[in-house]
Copies of this chain bind each other. A is one copy, B any other.
């Protein structure tokens, strides 16, 4: 196992519930996996939805499989484009987050809440956590050396689960601030 953590850039995307998928794409509709992601079982789907805010709209990819609730993950830049006040949250924590409209080929949904800016985080297995000496929920810093925009991302949440793979996720604003295009390697620091 390497001492470094793979850093991946997570662009804006939408997770949908089974019910919302049917509203947007039609009864009995199933997502079409297009590309596997680093987390086991997760994939980018062929399907896209248009996310419509009070100021602008952005077409976003759906990530599968379907989840318990629909969630839109954007950068602060995207939130500004849409015209929504998206709070900084961990994935799944969407209570009282920003409202938005989703438009699919077969229907629309007025989402009362669900738009968040994701807190940077590291997915890892229990064996990784043991190796790095960290625990689920712990806040760490991650140092990334790049050509001209080296950075230490503080406030990074460690998320440990049996079905995760070791990878840090940052959004596109964070990637730009670190001068990362593609992936990078990070070092967990105290």
What is the interface of chain A, defined by CB distance below 8 A to chain B? 75-77, 88, 119-120, 141, 145-155, 170, 172-174, 176-179
Since A88-B179, A151-B151 are in contact, a sample of 19 more A-B pairs with Cβ atoms closer than 8 Å, ordered by chain A residue number, is: A75-B176, A76-B176, A77-B172, A77-B173, A88-B147, A88-B149, A146-B155, A150-B154, A150-B155, A151-B152, A151-B153, A151-B177, A152-B152, A152-B154, A170-B177, A173-B176, A174-B176, A176-B177, A177-B177
Looking at A147, A177, A179, the one whose CB has the most chain B CB atoms below 10 A away is A177
* Complex Cα spacing A145 to B176, Å: 19
Q: Main secondary structure on chain A at its contact with chain B?
A: mixed
Min CB–CB distance A125 → chain B (angstroms): 25
- Which 10 pairs from chain A and chain B are nearest by CB? A150-B154, A177-B177, A173-B176, A152-B152, A76-B176, A174-B177, A88-B148, A150-B155, A173-B173, A173-B177
Given A77-B77, A88-B179, A179-B88, A148 contacting B119 (CB threshold 8 A): yes
Copies of this chain present:
2
Which B residues are CB-close (under 8 A) to A148?
88, 119, 155
Min CB–CB distance A149 → chain B (angstroms): 6
Nearest chain B residue, comparing its CB with the CB of A144: B154
Min CB–CB distance A183 → chain B (angstroms): 16
Min CB–CB distance A119 → chain B (angstroms): 6
Which B residues are CB-close (under 8 A) to A176?
75-77, 173-174, 177
